[in-house]
């Protein structure tokens, strides 16, 4: 099947993450291709059996959405709604890593979902990590978790409050 550049980008995105929310895929592709028309891009891939749409997600067949990964992509899009230089699935304990320009310097952003009780493991995983031009964002289940995480660099915490993410330093 002959694929357009936006379709190839979508396939690369899904190979990296397995599944993303349909709105996330649209936003990420529109950042790269501003005049993109979503339905023609997705329809051919869907008809060819390369992707599936289910429960508001776009996915490669036989892959299932990871909620922590979907939430991390939501946070990434909130932090950088217009342009993301580069993004990828993060190395543990991070769900997503992306790069964004700040003050004419390229910064690395790492997003980490923190399960209840997982704070000590996250803190231990951060020991000795490189901190220059790095921002860590922690998605918490409860605000009280922030007291138990020790971070060696610039960071912020976020959690959903009435369905909306709130960010705190």
The pLDDT profile of the chain, 169 residues, written as one tens digit per residue, is 789 999 999 999 999 999 999 999 999 999 999 999 999 999 999 999 999 999 999 999 989 899 999 999 999 999 998 888 899 999 999 999 999 988 999 999 999 999 999 999 999 999 988 889 999 999 999 999 999 999 989 999 999 988 899 999 8
Task: Count Cβ atoms below 10 Å from residue 10 Cβ, excluding itself.
Answer: 26
3-state secondary structure (DSSP) of residue 36: coil
Are 99 and 125 a contacting pair, CB within 8 Å? no
Gyration radius from the chain CA atoms: 17
Domain boundaries, the chain: 5-59, 67-168
Instruction: Tally the residues of the chain.
Output: 169
Residue 153 neighbours by CB under 8 Å, 6+ apart: 129, 131, 134, 135, 136
pLDDT for 67: 93
């Amino acid at each position: 099947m002959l694929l357009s550049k936006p379709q190839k980008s979508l396939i690369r995105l899904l190979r990296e993450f397995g599944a993303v929310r349909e709105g996330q895929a649209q936003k990420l592709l529109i950042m790269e291709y501003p005049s993109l028309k979503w339905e023609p891009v997705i329809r051919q891939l869907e008809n060819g059996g390369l992707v599936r749409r289910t429960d508001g997600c776009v996915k490669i067949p036989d892959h299932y959405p990871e909620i922590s990964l979907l939430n991390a992509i939501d946070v990434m899009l909130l932090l950088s709604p217009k342009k993301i230089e580069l993004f990828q699935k993060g190395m543990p304990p991070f769900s997503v890593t992306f790069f964004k320009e700040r003050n004419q310097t390229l910064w690395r952003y790492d997003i980490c979902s923190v399960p209840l009780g997982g704070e000590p493991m996250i803190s231990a995983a951060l020991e000795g990590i490189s901190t220059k031009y790095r921002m860590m964002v922690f998605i918490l289940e409860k605000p009280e978790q922030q007291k138990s995480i020790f971070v060696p660099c610039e960071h912020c915490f976020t959690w959903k409050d009435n369905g909306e993410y709130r960010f705190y330093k």
